[in-house]
Copies of this chain bind each other. A is one copy, B any other.
Amino acid sequence: MPAETTSRGRPRDARSHAAILAAAADLVTETGYAAMSLGAVATRARVGKDTIYRRWSGKAELVYEAVFTTTDTAPVPDTGTLESDLTVLVQQLIDEFSAPPAAAALPGLLADFAAAPQLRARIRSAFLAPAKQRLASVFERAQARGEMGLSVETDLVLDALVGTVFFRMGILGEPASLQLARSVARIAAKGIEPR
Contact = CB atoms under 8 A, between A and B. Distances in A.
Interface of A: 106-108, 110-111, 113-115, 117, 120-121, 124, 128, 153, 156-157, 159-160, 162-168, 170-173, 180, 183-184, 186-193, 195
Given A159-B167, A184-B156, A187-B157, A172 B128 contact: yes
A164 to B, nearest CB: 4
A119 B117 CA distance: 26
Contacts of A167: 159, 162-163, 166-167
Given A163-B166, A167-B163, A168-B163, A187 B183 contact: no
B153 A183 contact: yes
A47 B167 CA distance: 34
Given A120-B173, A160-B187, A188-B191, 4 more contacts: A107-B115, A124-B172, A186-B191, A187-B192
State the main secondary structure of chain A at its contact with B: helix
Contact of A163 (B117, B163, B187): B163
Contacts of A173: 117, 120-121
Q: Give the most central of A110, A124, A156: most B CB within 10 Å.
A: A110
Contacts of A192: 187, 190-191
Contacts of A170: 114
Contacts of A159: 164, 167-168, 172
18 contacts: A106-B114, A107-B114, A110-B110, A114-B171, A121-B173, A128-B172, A160-B160, A162-B167, A163-B163, A163-B165, A166-B167, A166-B171, A186-B191, A187-B188, A188-B191, A190-B190, A190-B195, A191-B191
